[in-house]
Amino acid sequence: MTSDRAVQGLPAGQVMAAAQCVQYQEGAVVSRELARQQGGTVTLFAFDAGQGLSEHTAPFDALVHVLEGEAEIQIDRRPHPLRGGDLLLMPAHHPHAVQARTPFKMLLVLLRTALMLMGLLWGAGPATAGETPAATSRPIPVILDTDIGDDIDDTWALGLLLRCPELDLKLVVGDYGRAPYRARLLAKFLQTAGRTDVAVGVGQDRDPRGDGAQAAWVKDYDLKSYPGTVHADGIGAMIDLILGSAEPVTLIAIGPVPNLAAALAREPRIAQRARFVGMHGSVRSGYNGQPPPDPEWNVKADAASCRAVFQAAWPMTITPLDTCGRVVLDGERYQRVYRSPDPIAAAIRENYGHWNVHQKGKPETVAQRSSTLFDTVAVYLACRQDFCRMETVSLRVTDDGFTRVDPAGKAVSAAMEWTHLDGFRDWLVKRLAGGVPAAGIRPASTAPVSAGGS
């Protein structure tokens, strides 16, 4: 039986002390998302004394219920002292900040629609392990901004996104140069997957130019043959979709972000109508999985654009290297995807083969294991967060590509460590191997091709 309930990781029919569901961490703000629906989210926060969230705005009303401790919340620079048991409504678009006077826990209910509380709290129960609860409302509208065609993990992430029924992909846009090449990759992949309902946007004409590691897969593909919509101005298409949507749009970014910086410069209002979820940064661990942090590529490649995105008013969720740098599939998990006849899995496999040849990798690697699948974690965070520990951190983007912890920086929700990495891997494999059909998937007209083709 499929559950249509929305609370994640909590036992049904069991009374629990809310304050015990999230624990303090010295010198930090820790968060745990309990529920997510189209109507909103329910999140627990634990602030150590002296910690807080710098001033920011949100595109939705938010209800705070203080569980224990004391804090001050400022709305429009007006202080509101709070203690255990207090309630406070923070209105949408009004600047607000949080400062813990003592160790302090609160429940935050983000209200996207008036019926949100009923849907989350009275239609709620646990999902089975490794499965996403079926949505009781429409899927979340999504735009994907990607530098697909450089590293192969963007292709895996696109395949995963198409396999997430919780997410309604509306538009894909290539970012960070190589605009025609990326648009052709996106269009052919969507056509192969039977998802020509998704529009393709062409990114900015800027460096780098030319083709990349997966060029062999699209060498004979003409973008004009794509049966769906192609927007020559991908940035304009993003702006129009966000401002024209009846509900907030989730913007998933898995590459450098010059498109998004240009969109914000052209129309700042998009930050009030969208939520940002990205694969960006390195907070405590670097590429080797150990301290110190590194200048992560998606930030370093265009630090100025990334800084503009981090300074925008939209709520931000990120997977830094601390978590996404640990995701690799091998053994039986990888073989389930590698052997799958599913057209999305086959398209990933074929692109992986071309990419591996271009990188001069060992031919046998494609049949044995994946590369590091950084970007798949951003797609996961757009629809659920139960396999990792989320922490609210304030980050500043430096000129040399670091994301430094800074109390004056942007408060973001960051996946800082895995609580069940194998659970995430199993979820990822089930989606990619075709175990969870996504709404809108139709049989592909292109037959699967084995990996490592010419």
pLDDT confidence tier of residue 414, bands split at 50, 70 and 90: very high
- Residue 3 located in a structural domain: no
**Dist. CA 223–CA 238, nearest whole Å:** 19
Stretch (H or E) spanning 26 = none
**Dist. CA 167–CA 196, nearest whole Å:** 16
Beta bridge partners of 47: 29, 104
Judge whether 237 and 266 are in contact, CB under 8 Å.
Answer: no
User: Is the Cα torsion angle 288, 289, 293, 298 positive or negative in sign?
Assistant: positive
- Residue 449 located in a structural domain: no
- Residue 325 located in a structural domain: yes
Same domain, 115 and 218: no
Supply the pLDDT for residue 104: 94
More confident residue, 296 or 37: 296
**Dist. CA 198–CA 162, nearest whole Å:** 10
**pTM greater than the 0.85 cutoff:** no
More confident residue, 215 or 80: 215
- Residue 78 located in a structural domain: yes
Same domain, 331 and 246: yes
pLDDT confidence tier of residue 59, bands split at 50, 70 and 90: confident
Same domain, 321 and 371: yes
Domain containing 56 — which CATH number? 2.60.120.10
Report which of 339, 342, 336 is spatially closest to residue 447, judged by C-alpha positions: 342
**Dist. CA 114–CA 306, nearest whole Å:** 34
Same domain, 107 and 212: no
Buried b (16+ CB within 10 A) or exposed e, 367-394: beebbbbbbbbbbbbbbbbbbbbbbbbb
Same domain, 296 and 418: yes
Supply the pLDDT for residue 128: 35
Report the 10 Å Cβ neighbour count for 169: 24
Same domain, 384 and 335: yes
Beta bridge partners of 12: none
**285: its two tokens:** 């661990």
Same domain, 210 and 355: yes
Q: Convert the pLDDT of each residue in 32-56 to its tens digit.
A: 888 776 667 888 999 999 998 887 7
What's the rounded mean pLDDT across residues 302-320?
A: 97
Same domain, 149 and 274: yes
What's the rounded mean pLDDT across residues 234-260?
A: 97
More confident residue, 209 or 132: 209
The phi, psi pair for 135, rounded to 5°, reads -70, 140
Residue 129 has pLDDT above 50, yes or no: no
Helices marked H in 287-375: 297-300, 303-311, 321-324, 331-338, 343-358
> What are the DSSP E strand ranges found in 91-209?
96-100, 104-111, 140-146, 167-174, 199-201
Q: What distances in angstroms separate CA 139 from CA 133, 168, 218, 238, one per listed residue?
A: 12, 5, 31, 18
Same domain, 206 and 153: yes
Q: Convert the pLDDT of each residue in 397-413 to its tens digit.
A: 999 999 999 999 999 99
Same domain, 29 and 173: no
Strand order in 70-75's β-sheet? Answer: 52-56, 96-100, 70-75, 78-83
Q: What distances in angstroms separate CA 173 from CA 66, 67, 334, 339, 415, one per listed residue?
A: 41, 42, 28, 29, 25
Judge whether 147 and 29 are in contact, CB under 8 Å.
Answer: no
**Dist. CA 77–CA 74, nearest whole Å:** 5
What's the rounded mean pLDDT across residues 367-391?
A: 95
Supply the pLDDT for residue 8: 55
What's the rounded mean pLDDT across residues 222-230?
A: 97
Least confident of 74-83, 215-224, 424-433: 74-83
Supply the pLDDT for residue 110: 85
**Dist. CA 70–CA 101, nearest whole Å:** 5
445: Cβ–Cβ under 8 A, 6 or more apart, which residues? 191, 194
pLDDT confidence tier of residue 207, bands split at 50, 70 and 90: very high
Tell me how many domains the chain contains: 2
- Residue 11 located in a structural domain: no
Q: Convert the pLDDT of each residue in 101-113 to its tens digit.
A: 999 999 999 876 5
Q: Give ∠ CA 359-368-165 in degrees, rounded to 5.
A: 90
What's the rounded mean pLDDT across residues 314-331?
A: 97
Residue 441 has pLDDT above 60, yes or no: no
pLDDT confidence tier of residue 124, bands split at 50, 70 and 90: very low
Domain interval for residue 110: 18-121
207: Cβ–Cβ under 8 A, 6 or more apart, which residues? 177
Same domain, 219 and 339: yes
- Residue 248 located in a structural domain: yes
- Residue 98 located in a structural domain: yes
- Residue where a domain stops, chosen among 90, 121, 152: 121
217: Cβ–Cβ under 8 A, 6 or more apart, which residues? 185, 188, 350, 351, 354
Mean pLDDT (the chain) is 87
Judge whether 163 and 432 are in contact, CB under 8 Å.
Answer: yes
pLDDT confidence tier of residue 316, bands split at 50, 70 and 90: very high
Domain containing 350 — which CATH number? 3.90.245.10
Residue 20 has pLDDT above 90, yes or no: no
Supply the pLDDT for residue 7: 53
Least confident of 60-74, 135-149, 355-369: 135-149
**Dist. CA 277–CA 274, nearest whole Å:** 10
What's the rounded mean pLDDT across residues 340-352?
A: 96
Same domain, 214 and 182: yes
- Residue 363 located in a structural domain: yes
Residue 453 has pLDDT above 50, yes or no: no
Supply the pLDDT for residue 15: 79
**139: its two tokens:** 């899927």
